[in-house]
Chains A and B, each alone.
Chain A
Amino acid sequence: QVQLQQWGAGLLKPSETLSLNCAVYGGSLSDYSWTWIRQSPGKGLEWIGEIDHRGSTNIKPSLKHRVSISLDTSKNQFSLRLSSLTAADTAVYYCARLVTGTRDLDVWGPGTTVTVSS
């Protein structure tokens, strides 16, 4: 059974860069895409972007100038970087697996609470 474990700094200051990692256990990065989603009380669930097993990314246009998503196949993990943080980026961040074809999110990480505050 595939599980996702995620980690990264939870308290950051405005203008700093968020770095989150998500490791895939019990399965391979191949044949799926890997997604980042965030959830805040104000904006609900928001898709940030995804990366496929070949390393091609698709990022939400409104975040594209601040977001990068990468893959490390040697470690079986993928990562999110979000730069120029503001308070509006405060949210719970989830990594999730996107099934090719049906495009549903069938496995989720537990979430990382990120707070941006001076």
Chain B
Amino acid sequence: AQSVTQLGSHVSVSEGALVLLRCNYSSSVPPYLFWYVQYPNQGLQLLLKYTTGATLVKGINGFEAEFKKSETSFHLTKPSAHMSDAAEYFCAVISIYNNNDMRFGAGTRLTVKP
């Protein structure tokens, strides 16, 4: 089954700085990829997803991610961090051989400093 690895369990940025959260997937076949966000004491919400087509995917709240097959990566970025972006972010992959099998990364907690 496919899996994802998120580099860095904690990332801290200053307000207004670039946000970069890293995700690499393991698969020889391009998978379906997702980023979810979890705010404190809440469930996860979908930020964006890549299934097919354009490799640069735009999501909610100004986030975007680029699918790079050559690097097996799907890093999440936002040009300018806002205090409200502080949350935990999860990369996830779903196998095209079992559409119900979604595997999540360990998560990256984003802190935004004023």
Whether chain B is bound by chain A comes out as: no
Q: CB within 8 Å of A: which residues of B?
A: none
